[in-house]
Amino acid sequence: MNWKEQRELRQTQIKALEDERKDLAKIGWKSMGKVEKEELYTKINFDWDNMQRFIRDRIPSKEGYVALEIENYCVEKARKLK
């Protein structure tokens, strides 16, 4: 197998893992109630406000950080449900 085929194989594997992660995040998000979602937003905003400045400077935006943390939480929740 040459390097182009290996690269394509890795890219398809990564795409499959990303799709699986998105599906898990959707399942986790749908299983959460309104109160739990609000508590999650509050916790993430609290974490952002208390994060050290040099770490915050490395993260591109607060919106990106919030989206990533919500996705991570939803994926973990969906894995616990299964």
pLDDT score at 81: 87
Q: Which residues of the chain have pLDDT under 70?
A: none
pLDDT score at 5: 93
pLDDT score at 39: 95
Each residue's pLDDT tens digit, 17-40: 999 999 999 999 999 999 999 999
The DSSP-derived string for 49-68 is: HHS-HHHHHHSS-HHHHHHH
**What is the C-alpha to C-alpha distance for residues 42 and 38, in angstroms, rounded to an integer?**
6
pLDDT score at 57: 87
Segments making up each domain of the chain, as ranges? 3-81
pLDDT score at 22: 94
